[in-house]
């Protein structure tokens, strides 16, 4: 009998990662791949990319393409609806019958949590886009965000960049004003998009629009913030506040047993914006400690939290979800998959630990 091989894909709006594991929980291979959000690229193209990534990974470890994986977990951006998830799975089964014997299709948020904890927690994704999800130990869920750039993406790289560009237009129209001088920011915008004025910029807002390229402006804003520009620092403080509001929105749904977790509720922080924690920190903590969440009308206090950064790919969590669906006890040392980079303690007068 062939060795049971388990696989998982973590798929974002910009890139994806596939990993394969043997039945002892040993990672055999991990490869990077393209965007696998079916809303952005279409269902058939998403399926094609998934199959290509998995077959590339199989080839790397000498597994024939004709040998199905025991299970494939797909933790993908855009996979929040049961109906579209079902269509994605059925398409893979029909078009690529030897890819895998079983599937789990879910949001990229679930894969991130499953990489760090068996008992649930919160995940906040803030990369190109944003999303937040609470998974309780009993399997119940609550979510906030994840609706894409046309509806939300608050606190993401796209949101920060969009807020900067919109503010430039509004300020030059004498419609609204930034709280700080915008000369540096406007220079960053022009340099990033290769334009000389706001009229030429419209091409990148409409007919040449690319969400990932638009979001790339955020890196320049972060660099300028660290160099001391007040407006760029303010943009990141606004993002820090919004990311904290995601947690406040989820507080009423947190299960009592999760509140008793050592170190508080685990919050897995995924995405490039979290690399600028130094720029988010003050506003994030102030919002948790003193702010009223937009939907938290009961005024519930935020419990103790541990903010975690994954040290390994969310493809691990996707793989674990696939194995769990088969009721196969795939070994995993969860503590090896994350670092704690901040602890928030309710009622503390300090800023916590980093």
DSSP per-residue string spanning 257-313: HHHTSTTSEEEEEESGGGGGHHHHHHHHHHHHHHPPPSS-TT-PPP--EEEEEESS-
Predicted local distance difference test score (pLDDT) of residue 147: 87
Classify residue 22 by its DSSP letter.
E
Does the structure show a pLDDT above 80 at 299?
Answer: no
Question: In a 3-state reduction of DSSP, which class is residue 32?
Answer: strand
- For the chain, percent of residues with pLDDT exceeding 90: 80
Evaluate whether residue 24 is within a structural domain: yes
Find the mean pLDDT for residues 311-317: 91
- What is the distance of C-alpha 10 from the center of its chain? 10
> What digits encode the pLDDT tens for the residues 183-237?
999 999 999 999 999 999 999 999 999 998 999 999 999 999 999 999 999 999 9
What does the CA dihedral 284, 293, 161, 45 come to, rounded to 10 degrees? 110
Cβ(35)–Cβ(12) under 8 Å? yes
What is the CATH number for 67? Answer: 3.30.420.40
Cβ(103)–Cβ(92) under 8 Å? yes
> What digits encode the pLDDT tens for the residues 269-289?
999 999 999 999 999 999 999
Q: How many structural domains are present in the chain?
A: 1
Distance CA 168, CA 182 (A): 8
Does the structure show a pLDDT above 90 at 238?
Answer: yes
Q: Which of 11-15, 209-213, 304-308 has the lowest mean pLDDT?
A: 11-15
Evaluate whether residue 129 is within a structural domain: no
Does the structure show a pLDDT above 60 at 88?
Answer: yes
Predicted local distance difference test score (pLDDT) of residue 290: 86
Cβ(316)–Cβ(19) under 8 Å? yes
Evaluate whether residue 159 is within a structural domain: no
Evaluate whether residue 184 is within a structural domain: no
Q: pLDDT band for position 72 (50/70/90)? A: very high
Q: pLDDT band for position 350 (50/70/90)? A: low
Predicted local distance difference test score (pLDDT) of residue 107: 86
Distance CA 141, CA 131 (A): 13
Evaluate whether residue 321 is within a structural domain: yes
- For the chain, percent of residues with pLDDT exceeding 70: 95
Predicted local distance difference test score (pLDDT) of residue 1: 53
Which domain range does residue 23 map to? 6-116+312-334
CA triplet 71, 73, 75: central angle to 5 degrees? 175
Q: Which residues contact 81 (CB under 8 A, 6 or more apart)?
A: none
Between the CA of residue 37 and those of 41, 274, 316, what are the distances in Å?
A: 6, 21, 19
Cβ(18)–Cβ(63) under 8 Å? no
The β-bridge relationship of strands 338-344 and 305-310 is antiparallel
């Amino acid at each position: 009998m062939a060795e049971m091989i388990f696989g998982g894909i973590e798929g974002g709006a910009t890139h994806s990662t596939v990993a394969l594991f043997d039945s002892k929980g040993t990672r055999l291979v991990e490869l990077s791949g393209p965007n696998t959000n079916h809303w952005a690229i279409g269902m058939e193209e998403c399926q094609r990319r998934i199959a290509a990534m998995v077959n590339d990974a199989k080839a790397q470890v000498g597994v024939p393409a004709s040998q199905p994986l025991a299970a494939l977990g797909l933790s993908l951006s855009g996979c929040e609806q049961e109906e579209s998830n079902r269509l994605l799975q059925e398409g893979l089964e029909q078009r690529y019958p030897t890819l895998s014997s079983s599937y789990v299709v879910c949001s990229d948020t679930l894969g991130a949590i499953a990489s760090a904890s068996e008992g649930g927690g919160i995940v906040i994704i803030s990369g190109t886009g944003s999303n937040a999800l609470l998974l309780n130990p009993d399997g119940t869920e609550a979510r906030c965000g994840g609706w894409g750039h046309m509806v939300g993406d608050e606190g993401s790289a796209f949101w920060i960049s969009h807020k900067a560009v919109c503010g430039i237009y509004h300020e030059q129209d004498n419609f609204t004003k930034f709280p700080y001088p915008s000369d540096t920011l406007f220079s960053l915008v022009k340099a990033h998009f290769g334009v000389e004025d706001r009229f030429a910029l419209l091409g990148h807002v409409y007919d040449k629009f690319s969400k990932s390229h638009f979001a790339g402006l955020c890196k320049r804003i972060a660099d300028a913030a660290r160099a001391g520009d007040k407006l760029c620092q303010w943009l990141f403080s606004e993002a820090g506040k919004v990311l904290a509001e995601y947690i406040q929105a989820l507080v009423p749904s947190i299960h009592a047993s999760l509140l008793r977790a050592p170190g508080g509720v685990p919050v897995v922080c995924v995405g490039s914006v979290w690399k600028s924690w130094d720029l988010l920190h003050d506003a994030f903590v102030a919002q948790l400690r003193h702010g009223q969440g937009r939907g938290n009308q009961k005024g519930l206090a935020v419990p103790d939290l541990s903010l975690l950064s994954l040290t390994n790919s969310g493809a691990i969590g996707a793989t674990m979800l696939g194995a769990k669906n088969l009721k196969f006890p795939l070994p995993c040392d969860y503590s090896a998959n994350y670092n704690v980079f901040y602890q928030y303690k309710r009622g503390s007068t300090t800023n916590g630990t980093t």
